[in-house]
Structure 1
Amino acid sequence: MAENTVKKIATRESYGNSLKELAEEFPNLVVLDADLAAATKTGIFRKAYPDRHIDCGIAEENMMGVAAGLSLVGKIPFVSSFAMFAAGRAFEQVRNSIGYPHLNVKIGATHAGITVGEDGATHQCNEDIALMRTIPGMVVMCPSDDVEARAAVRAALEYEGPVYIRFGRAAVPVINDHPGYHFEIGKGTVVREGKDVTIVATGICVDSALGAAKMLEEEGISAEVVNICTIKPLDEEIILNSAKKTGKVVTVEEHSVIGGLGSAVCDCLCAHYPVPVKKVGMQDVFGESGSAAALVEKYGLDAKGVYKSVKEFL
């Protein structure tokens, strides 16, 4: 399929649309936002169900407490803000008011990673997966496209307990739109078979990994691509099976290489099947202002960048 004909949708759009579509099926679903409904796309839900949407204002910490209270009276609250505020600013409230009592609260964090673009380093949260992974009992998901984002929202609603889902600002290619696609919390997917190297990717980087695999194939290198949407709990089985087949692993994420997908994969392999690993992501640096495309290219998270990293590693 030609590049210009590939359907592209931002996962934050998928999030807003899913909330609206699932509202009737889940009558206890309520949505909270922190004065960003237009950006997080919870405004789509608010327009259809104004009596089930609460704007808590620019007070993210308080919003987490409100969500905790709502969950205790039988509601299923989805709380939304930018990842920098939901995971960063409100970390203590998420930890103590939601994580510690293991409440049934879902956090929909949008505008994660460097693809926030021109908003710059202050808003480009490359630490949220690491922060949320450290909270005991917290499920952490990072969908790769529209199809997976919608599936993740439904799975979160059906799951009893705290969930953090990371969504992006920029439109990304739809890659899971095929018959037989199945989503399950804690399960990864081999989206491309290979034998020479394993590329484990999450979020928007799954598409980059697939592009890199095609480039590698032209040079006779067979790369297996594993899509990990649920970073916690991690699908250790799929990673170990692939590592045993290829003997080399590269992780790719739009997140710091410290504490995110790469760290989770390294923890798994170190404990069960040590093999060489290269972590591709934000290398202990802050982002900067610029277009999403330019930043993804600069930090080596596009297909060409991932291809180069894998080649150097091999």
Structure 2
Amino acid sequence: MNHATRKAAPAAAPATAAAGKPRLTTSAMIASIAAEGQRTKPAPFGHALVALARENPAVLGMTADLGKYTDLHIFSQAFPERFHQMGMAEQLLFGAASGLAAEGFMPFATTYAVFASRRAYDFIHQTIAEENRNVKIVCALPGLTSGYGPSHQAAEDLALFRAMPNMVVIDPCDAHEIEQAVPVMAQHDGPVYMRLLRGQVPLVLDEYGYTFELGKAKMLRDGPDALIVSSGIMTMRALEAADLLRQDKVEVAVLHVPTIKPLDEATIVEAARKSGRPVIVAENHTVIGGLGEAVAGALLRAGVAPAGFHQIGLPDAFLDAGALPTLHDRYGISAAAVAEQVKGWTGR
């Protein structure tokens, strides 16, 4: 893998509509998934970590040549003596983080999700998870939030970390949730993996009076026609799709599940027991081994058979490269694509 791609990316080629008019496009590397005009907040993780470090002297910031691209540069400016730049060496990053945790520190180690879940998986498994070390792993470009293609698209990270003993797994929706999740992660004694949205991150959940709780799912809106169980940016898309569906007189419930492990099976099962509506799991992850299969297993164990079970997620394939709006439409995870699929499953 070419490490030079960490720092710069060419803009996607200008697209042309069929009528010959230019169509707006974005850089293939863009990590922000905010729509035009959407409320955003800059670098919520970086600012939340600085706030935490002011209260807790054990907090350290560590990265593997990606401080600027995981918003950890904000921490490095505030606490240069507690910031560790490990270079292009993810295995060293996590090995060192484990050692520092063994000495009583609380490292927040950042990189891209692909590098943690593929290149350094064994180091995390053996030196952090097996030893139950208090390391917080925070990784950018989760799922399909980069247009770079398979080298940088972490479509299977939740499946990998969900299978790791002792590991807590979090997939936050927006800036509001990331800010709340950081101090909660610190309160948990043990390893945590959190997907990171960085840069200008959308604000969504503050409109719902939402408070993040580790291991808890929250119903954001209710509706009799379908239940969407979602995590990460797909909760944002599910809420947008719900607004579109309401125009067609389709009312859907949206249950946000930010903690993939431990899974709030009780809340999911209770919501799925309502008769007459299909259960649809939406995730920015391959349909193999992520939230969808976790929810399916929970329903099966509880003996719950909803009026249909469906998954909206990324295919079991290496994904294309390109501009994010195009890719989200192509793989069915844009708001419009979610709404269209739900309409089909509700028979409307």
Please indicate the TM-score interval, normalised by the length of the shorter structure. over 0.9
1:173 to partner: Cα distance: 2.8
Task: Provide the residue aligned with 2:92 in structure 1.
Answer: 62
Question: Are 2:49 and 1:19 aligned?
Answer: yes
Task: Provide the residue aligned with 2:164 in structure 1.
Answer: 135
Contact 2:49 2:75 in 1 (8 A): yes
Task: Provide the residue aligned with 1:274 in structure 2.
Answer: 305
**Count of equivalent residues:** 309
Question: Partners in 1 of 2:51 and 2:319 — Cα distance?
Answer: 35
Contact 2:170 2:260 in 1 (8 A): yes
Counterpart selection for 1:188 from 212, 217, 221: 217
Structure with larger Rg: 2
Q: Secondary structure at the match of 2:292?
A: helix
Distance 1:170 1:32, change over 3 A: closer
Counterpart selection for 1:232 from 237, 255, 261: 261
Contact 1:137 1:162 in 2 (8 A): yes
Contact 1:115 1:296 in 2 (8 A): no
Question: Are 2:294 and 1:264 aligned?
Answer: yes
Task: Provide the residue aligned with 1:158 in structure 2.
Answer: 187
Deviations along 1:216-246, whole A, 9 cap, x unmatched?
2222222100111101111112211111115
Higher mean alpha-carbon deviation, 235-244 vs 131-140, is at 235-244
Counterpart selection for 1:173 from 202, 208, 214: 202
Question: Partners in 2 of 1:307 and 1:146 — Cα distance?
Answer: 24
Runs of 4 or more consecutive aligned structure 1 residues displaced over 6 Å after TM superposition? none
Task: Provide the residue aligned with 2:77 in structure 1.
Answer: 47
Matches for 1:1-314 after TM superposition, within 5 Å: 4-9=36-41, 13-117=43-147, 119-169=148-198, 171-178=200-207, 180-246=209-275, 247-272=277-302, 273-275=304-306, 276-314=308-346
Higher mean alpha-carbon deviation, 283-292 vs 231-240, is at 283-292
Question: Partners in 2 of 1:201 and 1:26 — Cα distance?
Answer: 32
Percent identity, aligned pairs only? 38
**Given residue 198 of structure 1, which amino acid in structure 2 is its aligned partner?**
L
Q: TM-score with structure 2 length normalisation?
A: 0.85
Deviations along 1:73-95, whole A, 9 cap, x unmatched?
11001111000001221111111
| Gap runs ≥5 in structure 2 | 1-34
**Given residue 45 of structure 1, which amino acid in structure 2 is its aligned partner?**
F
- Output the aligned Cα RMSD: 1.6
Q: Secondary structure at the match of 2:205?
A: coil
**Given residue 32 of structure 1, which amino acid in structure 2 is its aligned partner?**
M
Contact 2:174 2:232 in 1 (8 A): yes
Distance 1:4 1:168, change over 3 A: closer
Contact 1:70 1:76 in 2 (8 A): yes
1:120 to partner: Cα distance: 2.0
1:312 to partner: Cα distance: 2.3
Q: Secondary structure at the match of 1:252?
A: strand
Question: Partners in 1 of 2:165 and 2:125 — Cα distance?
Answer: 9
Deviations along 1:103-147, whole A, 9 cap, x unmatched?
111100111121212x22210110100000001121100110000
Contact 1:115 1:295 in 2 (8 A): no
